């Protein structure tokens, strides 16, 4: 295993995470000097994998997605692969990766415990797994859907109805929509991980945050949801819903989204990291 001439990591001094170090905005296991094979599952445009490889050129990075965008130019040790991430056996040897970073893959996986079992198999003992999942339950003015729907205030009911419909469609497809809230318990259930840490972040949807950095996040989320709403039409129709009802649900949700500053729309992001237990 090759190593850099000097250690350029920034070690985190926060209590409870002294065994992790920070690199390229991500936490790594501080007990290991170099990570040769990070795996970035659910690649999107592949930015994370490329940026990681550019900053740490001596590691190999593999980006995995069902249909990743193939970039024209990538670092020599960065590669992208296409395969179904929900397959029973991932196409890698045992203990193949040092780091696995999986995000936004829930909606394509019907058996999440099986997915975590494969992650445990291909991650070497002492390796680090990072799971990032957005919650499928939405919020407005810091109150959940249930609080709004059961209360007397009207609120963004069109927005909440769309997300309830989305969750119902995923359930019909065999997807467990409660996985984001249970990531820590699911990791514990494998018996293969230790040093499990979890946190939850509130992500604004809209242009109402006063902090400029948070405002940027809200703007990006708003644009992402603006594209998501019409894209859900085919899923709703394939579930057997009447076309007129589908169009009305999407229209009402768009109305609430465009008035998002009034309602203070937001969602939660669940982040969990853990180390592979030594065997």
Region of poorest pLDDT, from 7-21, 171-185, 207-221, 246-260: 7-21
Q: Is residue 47 part of a domain?
A: no
Residue 241 CB neighbour total at 10 angstroms: 17
Residue 129 CB neighbour total at 10 angstroms: 23
- Is a pLDDT exceeding 50 seen at residue 15? no
Is pLDDT larger for residue 150 or for residue 210? 210
Q: Is residue 166 part of a domain?
A: yes
Q: Is residue 79 part of a domain?
A: no
Is pLDDT larger for residue 95 or for residue 1? 95
**pLDDT at 39 (0 to 100):** 54
Q: Is residue 77 part of a domain?
A: no
Q: Is residue 126 part of a domain?
A: yes
Strand order through the sheet with 10-11: 10-11, 20-23, 26-29
Structural domains counted in the chain: 1
Where does the pLDDT of residue 56 fall: very low under 50, low under 70, confident under 90, or very high at 90 and above? confident
Where does the pLDDT of residue 12 fall: very low under 50, low under 70, confident under 90, or very high at 90 and above? very low
Contacts of 14 (CB under 8 A, 6+ apart): none
Domain harbouring 187, CATH code: 3.40.50
Where does the pLDDT of residue 127 fall: very low under 50, low under 70, confident under 90, or very high at 90 and above? very high
Structure tokens at 241: 């819903």
Query: Strand locations in 113-241, DSSP E?
Result: 123-140, 143-144, 193-204
DSSP, residue by residue, 138-170:
EEETTEEHHHHHHSSS--SHHHHHHHHHHHHHH
Q: Is residue 103 part of a domain?
A: yes
Q: Is residue 57 part of a domain?
A: no
Query: Which domain covers residue 111, as residue numbers?
Result: 84-276
């Amino acid at each position: 295993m090759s190593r850099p001439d000097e250690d350029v990591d920034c070690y985190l001094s926060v209590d409870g995470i002294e065994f992790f170090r920070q690199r390229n905005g991500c936490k790594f296991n501080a007990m290991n000097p170099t990570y040769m094979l990070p795996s970035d599952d659910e690649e999107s445009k592949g930015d994370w994998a490329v940026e990681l490889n550019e900053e740490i050129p001596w590691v190999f990075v593999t980006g995995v997605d069902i249909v990743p965008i193939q970039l024209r130019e990538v670092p020599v040790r960065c590669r992208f692969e296409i395969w179904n991430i929900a397959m029973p056996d991932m196409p890698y040897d045992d203990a193949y990766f040092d780091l696995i970073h999986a995000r936004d893959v829930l909606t394509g996986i019907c058996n999440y415990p099986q997915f975590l079992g494969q992650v445990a198999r291909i991650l070497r003992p002492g390796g680090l797994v990072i799971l990032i999942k957005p919650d499928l339950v939405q919020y407005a003015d810091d109150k959940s859907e249930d609080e709004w729907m059961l209360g007397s205030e009207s609120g963004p009911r069109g927005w909440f109805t769309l997300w309830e419909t989305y969750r119902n469609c995923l359930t019909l497809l065999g997807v467990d929509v409660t996985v984001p809230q249970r990531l820590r318990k699911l990791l514990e259930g494998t018996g293969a991980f230790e040093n499990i840490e979890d946190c939850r972040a509130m992500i604004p949807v809209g242009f109402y945050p006063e902090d400029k950095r948070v405002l940027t996040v809200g703007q990006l989320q708003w644009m992402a949801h603006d594209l998501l709403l019409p894209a859900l039409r085919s899923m709703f129709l394939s579930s057997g819903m009447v076309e007129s009802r589908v169009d009305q649900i999407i229209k009402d949700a768009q109305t609430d989204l465009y008035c998002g500053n009034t309602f203070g729309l937001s969602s939660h992001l669940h982040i969990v990291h853990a180390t592979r237990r030594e065997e």
